[in-house]
Amino acid sequence: MPSELTIRSARRDDYKQWLPLWLGYNAFYGRHGATALHEAITQATWSRFFDPNEPMHALVAEQDGKLVGIVHYLFHRTTLAIQPTCYLHDLFTDESLRGQGIGRKLIEAVYSAAKEAGAFRVYWLTHESNATARRLYDQVAENSGFIVYRKNMA
């Protein structure tokens, strides 16, 4: 029987277990490309979590000594409030363990961190085709109805 799930901040020694979850997240969204570019982005992303000058944070879900989920979030200013706002950037759980509440607990942990930081709001994006995640998101947050437009600069 699995032990209790623990949500905690990522530690530097989590990298080897974090990496497959990070790669799984990127594969899920079809982010494939130059390996060198992805390695550089992966290394920069990981190092930002431990840089006190960066607004990026990482939490992990751990069960029986194994990482089974990750969430990354950041704080930024907004024109809607004096307080910062929190963007939940990446959320991913081990595919074999989905439906067991791991994603919900990771989101709730971000809510707690945002509240502690005095954030005005937590928000995130997902692809419209991500029906499984959207069922959870509809339970824990409000669909704002906004449509995202973007233009890559490279």
Q: Residue 112 above 70 pLDDT? A: yes
Q: What pTM was computed for the model?
A: 0.92
pLDDT at 27 over 90: no
In this prediction, residues 60-70 reach a mean pLDDT of 97
- Per-residue pLDDT at 66 exceeds 80: yes
**Which residue has better confidence, 83 or 39?**
83
Q: Which helix (H) or strand (E) holds 48?
A: helix 35-48
pLDDT of the residue at 10: 98
Q: Taking 90 as the threshold, does the pLDDT of residue 45 lie above it? A: yes
Percentage of the chain beyond pLDDT 90 is: 76
pLDDT reading at 33 higher than 70: no
Between CA 130 and CA 87 the distance in angstroms is 18
Return the higher-pLDDT residue of 38 and 124: 124
Domains of the chain: 6-140 (3.40.630.30)
Mean pLDDT in residue range 72-100: 95
